[in-house]
Amino acid sequence: MRAAMPSKSKLKCWVWLKGSSRQDCARWESGWVGIPSDLGGIRIEHPDYVSCRVPDWRVSWEEPADLKVAPKIPDDTQWKLIPTG
């Protein structure tokens, strides 16, 4: 079970990455900080990636028990939200 969304402060989080078509590397990745966005979703930051805004389902505020088990992914969902704000 994922923890509730935090208040308006940056907190450590894990982000679900889907990998690429060449690799089966979908996973939860650590090293991120996130903060709820006024535009909806979560703004995520990591030193190796461009900061962006993603849907809530892609973020876990607690370390997942199994880093290879996907979250419930909604049908016809967006993976990245625009504007990134």
CA 43: distance to chain centroid?
A: 9
pLDDT tens per residue across span 12-48: 999 999 876 656 789 999 999 999 999 999 999 999 9
pLDDT tens digits, one per residue of 44-80: 999 999 999 999 999 999 999 999 999 999 999 999 9
* pTM listed for this prediction: 0.84
What number of other Cβ atoms are within 10 A of residue 25's Cβ? 11
